[in-house]
Amino acid sequence: MQDSICPFSATLARETFGCAHAERVIRRGGTEFSCRDQPAHARCAQLFGQLKDAALTAFDVEDDLTQMPHSVLVKVQFGGLLGLQRITLETPSDADRVADIDALVTAAVACFENLQSIPCERLTGDMTGYTLSRRSRR
């Protein structure tokens, strides 16, 4: 099950993002999301890798789990998906929700002919410009 953890889990924890293949998994450390469709998981994992590679230079960080702030990975997930939605479905740049991540990735693959052709470098502004919401004080 660990292999199928959604690479966009941070987005799914919010009610404004969804995916037809996501399944909530409760663990001691908190909630994670597992993907019920292996080909969809592979597409999303590849897309996340491409987004992260494009963002590393823009955020001026290295791909090192001990050095890269978690906030960068969250910005890559949110900003990357919202930017992909903007260029694929021509939604307004102020859109803040993605109803179905799998449907968005499928539409992007159809729009750009394949996963490798998605212009992730065009999404770096969306990723660096994404503003993380502040945690509420308890």
The Cβ of residue 38 has, within 10 Å, a number of other Cβ atoms equal to: 11
Q: Tell me: pLDDT of 31 over 90.
A: no
| Per-residue pLDDT tens digits for 107-127 | 999 999 999 999 999 999 999
| Per-residue pLDDT tens digits for 58-105 | 998 988 878 888 899 999 999 999 999 999 998 887 789 999 999 999
How large is the greatest C-alpha to C-alpha distance in the chain, in angstroms?
47
Kindly report the pTM of this predicted structure. Answer: 0.90
Q: Tell me: pLDDT of 137 over 70.
A: no
